[in-house]
Structures are given as structure tokens and as C-alpha cells.
Chains A and B, each alone.
Chain A
Amino acid sequence: MITVQPGEAVWEDTWIPTACDMCYNACTVRVRRTNGVVVKIEGIPDAPPNYGKVCAKGNAGLMNLYNPHRIKTPLVRANPEKGIGIDPRWKPISWGEALDLMTAKLRAAHAKDPRSLVAATFDRYGHFVLRSFLTAFGSPNLTTVSAGFFCGNGVHPVAYTLTGSNDVHPDLKLCNYLLMFGTSYGFVAQMNAMGLTQEMAEARRRGMKLVVVDPVCTYAASQATEWVPIRPGTDAALALSLMDVLVNELGLYDREFLRRYTNGTYLLGSDGHYLRDPKSQKPLIWDARQNRAGTFDAIDRTDAALEGSFQLEGIEAKPAFQLFKEHLSAYTPERASAITTIPAETIRRVAREFGEAAGLGATLQLEGHTFPYRPAAACWYRGISAHKHGMMNGMSVGQLNVIVGNIDMPGGMLNATAAGPFWGPREGADGLLVSGNPFTYRHMRTPIPPRPVRRPETLELVELFPVSVYARAMLWLGILHAEQFRLPYRAEVLIQCRTNMMAASGNPEIMAAALKRIPFMVSFADHHDETTEFADLLLPDTHALERLMPITYNPYYHYNNATLPGEAWSFNFQQPVVEPMGEARNWIEVIHEVGGRLGILNDLYTAFNEIAHLEDPYRLDPARKYTWEEICDRWARSYCGDEHGLAYFRKNGYYKGEKRTAAQSYPRIFNTGRIPLYLEHFIGAGEDVKRFTESEGIPWDTSGYVPLVDWRPCPAHPERASEFDLFVVNQKLPFLTFSFTSENPWLTELAERNGKVFPVGINAETARKKGIADGDEIDLETAGGRKARAVARLSQGIHPECLAVPGILGRWVTANERMKHKGIHFNSLLEYTLDRLDTLSAAVDQCVKVKVSPVHTEKEGGSHA
């Protein structure tokens, strides 16, 4: 390793552009290398998406690079026994031996059943190749992340429904009133963390009102105009009540938008289905001008009836919005108040503020087009998605936006990736909006039209989730319950990289049981963690500053690389800044080598052309063999033009293309496909699931497949009267997200100095009633008997029914002694069983209640009892 000696002359001082990898946002950075040593990481002022700014994690990245505890050679397990806390007894082996072993295991698995190979990664750039490898191998079992248990389950299907894109985000450039439900969007968390933090700061400076609905006064809520504390898991009741006030009390809703752009005008029969034209089978709407029914595509949208009741050949027919409106009346602010603990007058006030801020009727001229101008938006994420009814929760907030007509309109909620220079949403069956994004292939499935239910072939059982985008949380349950779901094969080999599933996904006990079922597990990693503890073969991966990885920032594909209105479509690259430590190798290059050893490179290339969406003449020729550099070069030129290949990116680090036009940013008025405000397609999807699961004898909850969204309690809610009286809730920390960041001693130091990271927050009044003082040790216990011990931190900024457990802490396998067993590992308190999953979105319910008692005995060691 190169080291700088005191007084050594400076023989090198250079800046190398690349992309950060300390979270999943791929900020563009430049790295200063002096005499061979990385001495600084910083942003590039002109470079999207972060425009010169780097967060604490990104700044600290070089301490992960230089971590002496990194894995430096291939290691093989000597201890056949596996489990939490069981030493694998690693033995170093050569790369040659390691790849011989891996190849042999893969060959054996392939001979049994190609589908028995499972792969998991959160390397968002590497997964294009990994997916190609799996496709060539013949397995559908790729899970791209260890997240997808909690985060986007109740977001992505809703985003597709509203915009045809896999995510939605508020238009911070023009929004004047933003309601945030269970997210720290724009506060160094979530998508485009750096870019949106800057946008959020600017929006707040120019006077945008920010109202944060959250059980905890988070970093976002601290800076909000108003913090609205809410009982966990009740957000849908609030959203439905806000809509009730807007529609039934104030009449503040965008009739024009609903008529033009939703299925609110489609006529329904008494069975809840669309009334259809007998001949064409097209849904009917009521022409209010001519007083007759006609097919949805034959009547001017502005003439369509949105409300009322009509007679259609003796049948009573109501427009879908009429039913929607009647349905809302069950959610009066008084009822919602009892559910959410938010005062009814606050609900009424926020509804009015939101509706008035939307400025119904206003328009805006941009680039020669006249757009409805709707500068009010409601966004949401994990906090409301990770519940038993995550799909309904997300949908309710999504629909709040539809009611004020802000979808894909200036100031409102915008598509993240749908409309660009290459593709946009289309009009599909029944005139509904359908995604046109080709990158959805096998990664995020689209919910419209619902996919036919069939016998599960994937271990994640996604075949049973016709309106979800994925079912990642099911993977481990599919492995554990393969017999029950009659899966025709068993998992034989797991390839895993850059994802600490044991710490970041389901309850570790259940995760461990699933991992132990897989006979052979290969991990690529640069440090030991809770997941690599289960590996049979552990291969040293490069740090991001040691590897070549193309198109890390990819606005066509990655929803969190959304290109903001008026900004340039841009791309960036990771390139090596220093030599790999020890024998570390870029895992994606190793995957290619293994593909060569297995003789499947030609199929890998064929799959890669489709998966990475390469265009001629840059598509790979399956008859040839390419170096990784050549593949990166073709990939870059296919996306960014012939001039902008590998050499361009090595020199510049990023490429800025055309600016996103107003029409691309705000495509709603150009799309003919309609938003299904009334989820008629859910009825058939639910019947389909019910038919299959009943015939197979699989107990399965299909009661959520209803066309009108409701608030439904989580299993934890009825526990209210018992001694298990406090919900634990998890919040993001801006300097510690992703478990690997806690390997970093600089970030550890920030966490230690912060004082609010490792203790558990409790409302001061609740604590007083329980006889708990600030700094007291407390024991937590769930109804399921899961326990943890922590130090109490009293605060006014926490809902009285909650305990605030931040970050991904309580680490049990880490080389960083200062983080080991510090704080509480939130997921260890959760149940991870089929009955705690949302059968619509596959979200894992994070609603769990605990009883809390002060510790009276002497301290007994670690944080986990």
C-alpha cells in the first residue's frame, strides 16, 4: 500500500471524477489523490444531481476505503455449523480455488434445476449484469435489494397507477404546500438526497409550507412549518378524512381533472364493476350534455358526468366518482380523530389549507403550453408503506393528490422516470394509463393491467401478487415454506453482494432460518457483517473507489435519479481512483468470469442487451467476448451518444444531455391514459388470487382487493388496552443509513457525539407516568416475547404512544467495536410471518407494540436481552 512519508515531496496531486457509493443515490464527486492517497472527496459544482454537495456519509467514504478490517483474500468456511454468533472459522484460499468451488456448485445446481440459483444485491449498478447472469443461467430468482421489505411496497404500485412511473415526487421548484407522510424526503434521506435537500431548502426559503405527519419530530419535522404527530399506521384514516373534508365539506376538488384524466366518470353497476358496451366491451360513461351513455372513448371528456345516478336500460348506474365520494363520507374528521389522535379541527384546517393552496382553476404558461397549476402535493414513503395494509395506505395519500388534480402538473406530484426522451406512458386496456418504461423488465413489475395469478415459480411468490411491483419480502418465506406453496424446486445456491439482509430485512431469526436452508452461499463483500457470517465462500469485493462501474446515475431507470423539471438528463460513472486493497476484485467482473467458466457468456450478452436496453450499434454480439471496459464503453455510448464513451467518462465523470422539457416534466395533459381513482381492476385481481389460493389450500388474505380504499388496522392496533402499550417506530439518520456506514469510525464519532442516536426516545409525559427518568435503562418486550434493553431519552418531540428507535443499529457482526451492540436493532423486534405481510404489496408490517419497564437490577451487558 502506498503511504506518504513525512516531508515527502508532492509527486502527485490530482482530482479524479467518479460517483459516490455511500448510499444508493450515486452523487457525482471528485476525489483528490495526493501521492497515491485519497485525501478528499467533494462534489463538483456543475455536476448533477448533487451540484457540488456531499453528505456526511459521502465525505466519510474514504475511511471505508482504508478500513484495515476489509476482506482482502477469498475465504472458505471451515465450520459446517451456521448460525447467528457462530464463527465460520474462515480459511484463506486462492481466487482460482474459490472460483473452481463456486463453478462446481453452480454446475451441480444447474443440473438439479436452474431455478435453484438465488441472487441478492443492493448494488443497483451491478444488478444489470447479475440479472443477465441469472437469465442466462435460467433462474428467475433475483432480488435486487435487501430493502423492499418496508420501503417502496406501498409507493411504487401507487406511482405506476398515478403516473405510469415507478415513483413519484413533489415538484419542489413550484410547490407551495407540501404534506409529508412518514418520510424525510428532502432531508438527506430517500431519493436524490443531495439534490432534493438543496431543493427543499430553497422551497422553504421561498415560503413553501411544509406539514410533516409523523409519530416522531424527525429531522424533517423539526424544520417543518408544522409537525402533526400521528398514531402509527393510521395515515390512511387521515388521508381519507382530508379527502372527505375537501370533497364533502368544502367542495374543493378538481372536477375538470377528474373528468379528463381519471376513471371517475366510468359508470358502475351494482356489482362494483364497470358497465360495459355489450359489443365492444368498453367501459361506459354518461354524456351529461346529451343525456345518454357511450363508450369512454366516444364522448368528449368534458361532457362526462362525474356525479349523480343514471338509469341505463333499467339498471341504476353511478359514475365511479359518485361512489368514491359517498365512500369518503365514512371518514369524518371526528372519526379520523379517534383513529389517528389528530384533533378534528386540525384535520379540517389542514384539508382547507391543502385544497386552497392547490389553486384550483389556475394555469401556468411554460414553453408554449398552458398547464393547470397545482402547487400543493402530498408525498409519502416507508413510514406509511411498511404496514399490514401498506398498499391501501400509499394509495390513500396518492389519491389525495388526484382529488386536487396535481398529478404530473406544475407544483404537484410528478412522475420520476416515465416521461423522457425515450419513452412515456401509454393508454392501455379500458383507457387506463400503462407504463411504457422498458426497464421494468423483471425488476419492478407493473400493476396495470393486473398480472394473471399462476402457480408460483419464483421463490418470492410474486405470482400471487398481481398488483404489486415486487414481493421481495416473500423470498425468505418462500424458501422456508416451499412445500406449502408447492414450489417445484428448492434453493441450492445463493449469490449475495452488497446487501446486509440479516440486518436490514426481516427479523434476523427468521432470516437465519431461511439462509440455513440454502446449501451453498457465496458472498462478495468488502467487510464482514451479519449476512456474510452465513456464507460458505466469501470473496473480497472492491470498494467503489477501486472499481469501474458504468451509468451509476441513470435517470431512465432509477427512480431516485429523477431528473427535475428543467434540469438536464445526466449520467455518471464510477472509476477506479486507487488500486484494489489486497486481492479484492470488482464482483461484476468476477460474475462475467464465472459466466465464461459455465459457458453461458453468449446468453448473458443476449440478456444484457435487453436488460440494460442497449441500442444498435452498441449491442453486444453473443458470438464475441468483451472486456468489462468494452462493455462499459458500449453502454455509455448507447445512452449518451457516440462521443461519450468510456474515455469521455474517465475524463469528465459525468455527462449532461438535453434539458428535461416542460412537456416531459409535466406530461399529464399530453397523456390520454386515465388514472384509475376507482380500483375496478382490484376486484378481478382479488378474485383471481382467491380462486388460486383456495384451490391450493393456501390460507391467504384477499380482503384488501377492494376498489375503494379504506383504513384498516394493523395487527398491533387492537393491542391498545393491554400492557403492550407503546409502538416502536424507526427513523432515518442523515449520517448513518445502510448498515455498512456504521463500519466508518468518523460516522461512529458523529453518532456518539449526537447523543440521540443510541438511546430510545420516549415522550416525556409518558415516561413520567411510567416512572422513567432521562438516562434510565429500560427493558422493551413485545407480545411475541422479543426483548431489547436501551437507555431512555426523554423528549417532547415524540407521540405519547411511541418509542423512537432510530437507524440500523444494534449491530452484532462488525469489526467496529464502537458500534457493536450499541442502540437497538429495530427489525429484531418485528414479527416476520405471513400474517404480518400485506398480501397486496408484500410489505412487512413494522407496527409492533412493546411494554416498557425500568431496569432495576444491575446492568447485565449487551443491549439485546
Chain B
Amino acid sequence: MRYGMVIDLKKCIGCTGCALVCKTENATPPGILWLRVVKQESGKYPQVRRVSVPLQCMHCAEPPCLEVCPTGATFQHPNGIVDIDAEQCVGCRYCMMACPYDQRFFLSAERTYFPGHTTPFEQAGYQRHQAGVVSKCNFCTPRLNRGLEPACVANCMSRARTFGDLDEPNSEVSKLIRDRGGYQLYPELGTNPSIYYLPP
């Protein structure tokens, strides 16, 4: 069992709905986006290509962030999800230096979206985040526990995202990777990410 995600760059339109649904689902504080979408431009006018690439924690099978964590706060679930135990995190941020995908975020101080005011949503949601620790995407583990897909997958309006078990050869994700030439980011680093992209 190893949870993974396939993101079809042919389908992704770069709308950033996933970035926002991640924000509401996980109530991440200001300045922290566990998921964002970058645009890449290539070619020369008029033969130009612009591709939207969503980025989030890659949930590597060989996570460099875990290796460097001095307290064991970063750990790997048996289902492959790389997670952080906030109670054990001392905020040293070695993991942020080690992550080649720049997908770990440090909350330096408690802040709110409207300066000087905490909305009821934030009062409720920020209980999940504490200052001085590192956080990141956890594939919406609380949703998985309720039998739901990660929020970014469930809400993707162009259905560019597929979630499933990479170890199961007949799963939708495994089939897509096989049939459509799915690839990982920076495979040469040996991190073996659990997020695969399908070519645009």
C-alpha cells in the first residue's frame, strides 16, 4: 500500500481551485500554501507553450526531509504518506533545506488574514496549526480517514487529479502512469516521489 497521485498536465488549466480548496480544508495560515500552481512558458512566439504545474508535498518513498529530522517529528505512515508530528517538531527547519521540491513551510508567528482581526473561521481552524513548527500537505489524511479523497482531487474541475495505490498494478493511478508515460519530478535525486505527472 502506497498512496500516490497522478496529475494530468494535459487536463490541468491552472485555475488554482486546488490551492484554494487546500486552504479551506486545512485552514492554513497567511503566507502558507501547501499547494500552489506554477506556470511554465517555453518556445518562441507564436509557437509558445504555457503549462500549469501544481506543486505540493511529493510524499517521497525516500524522503530527504525524514533523514535530516533530528527529533523524529517527520515520519512516514505505512501507507506512504510523509507526515509531521507537530508535538515533536522543534522548528529547526533542516527539512526545509533538505526538501528539493520546496514544499515545507515554517509558521514563524501567528498571523491572521485581516490584520488585527481573527475571523471565526480562523479561530476555529488555526487550532490545527501552531507557530514555530513546520507544516505541509498530508494528502488530507483526516479526509482519507473518513473515506474521502484529498480535497484537491475531489474538487478538481478539469479532473486532472487521480488518487490511489501505487503498489496496486491495476489501480487507476498505476494504469495512468503506465499508459500515459507518467513521470516524477527530479527522478535523478532518488527520492521516488509519490506524485506523478502526465505530460502536457
Contacts and interface: CB of A to CB of B under 8 A. Distances in A.
Given A53-B155, A749-B33, A39 B16 contact: no
Interface in A763-811: 763-765, 795-798, 800
A56 B18 CA distance: 7
The interface centre, meaning the residue of B20, B119, B157 with most chain A CB atoms within 10 A of its CB, is: B157
B23 A59 contact: yes
Interface stretch (A62-70, A624-632, A723-731): A62-70
A56 B121 contact: no
B14 A39 contact: no
Contacts of B21: 42, 54, 56, 59
Interface in B2-48: 10-11, 13-17, 19-21, 23-25, 27, 30-31, 33, 36, 39, 41, 43-46, 48
B20 A60 contact: yes
A112 interface: no
A735 interface: yes
A410 to B, nearest CB: 23
A56 B22 CA distance: 10
A219 interface: yes
Interface in B155-180: 155-160
A544 to B, nearest CB: 16
Contacts of A54: 17, 21, 155
Interface string A190-217: 0000100110111011000000000001
Interface residues of A, number: 68
A134 to B, nearest CB: 37
Contacts of B39: 222, 754, 756
A34 interface: yes
B155 A59 contact: yes
B113 A746 contact: yes
A96 interface: no
A735 B158 contact: no
B145 interface: no
A111 interface: no
Contacts of A228: 46
A440 B61 CA distance: 60
Contacts of B15: 55-56, 187-188, 197, 219, 734-735
B41 to A, nearest CB: 6
A800 B155 contact: no
Given A197-B158, A198-B158, A219-B14, A750 B20 contact: yes
B115 to A, nearest CB: 8
Contacts of A220: 13
Contact of B13 (A1, A187, A798): A187
B54 interface: no
A747 B15 CA distance: 12
B71 interface: no
Interface residues of B, number: 46
A309 B31 CA distance: 72
Interface string B143-162: 00000000000111111100
A98 interface: no
Interface in B72-116: 113-114
Contacts of A53: 17, 155-157
Contact of B45 (A40, A68, A796): A796
A41 to B, nearest CB: 7
Contacts of B158: 197-198, 200-201
A745 B122 CA distance: 13
A222 B121 contact: no
Contacts of B41: 795-797
B138 interface: no
B157 A194 contact: yes
Given A1-B120, A54-B155, A796-B45, A201 B160 contact: yes
A621 to B, nearest CB: 42
A62 B121 contact: yes
A4 B124 contact: yes
A195 B117 CA distance: 36
A217 B23 contact: no
B30 A745 contact: yes
B64 interface: no
A39 to B, nearest CB: 6
Contacts of B114: 67-69, 745
Interface of A: 1-6, 34-43, 50, 52-57, 59-60, 62-63, 66-69, 187-188, 194, 197-198, 200-202, 204-205, 217, 219-223, 227-229, 734-735, 745-747, 749-750, 753-754, 756, 763-765, 795-798, 800
21 contacts: A3-B124, A5-B123, A34-B124, A37-B124, A52-B154, A57-B20, A59-B21, A59-B24, A60-B20, A60-B23, A63-B113, A63-B119, A68-B119, A222-B51, A227-B46, A734-B16, A735-B17, A754-B16, A764-B45, A796-B41, A797-B41
| A-B residue pairs, 8 tightest by C-beta | A201-B158, A66-B119, A56-B20, A222-B50, A745-B113, A53-B157, A4-B124, A734-B15
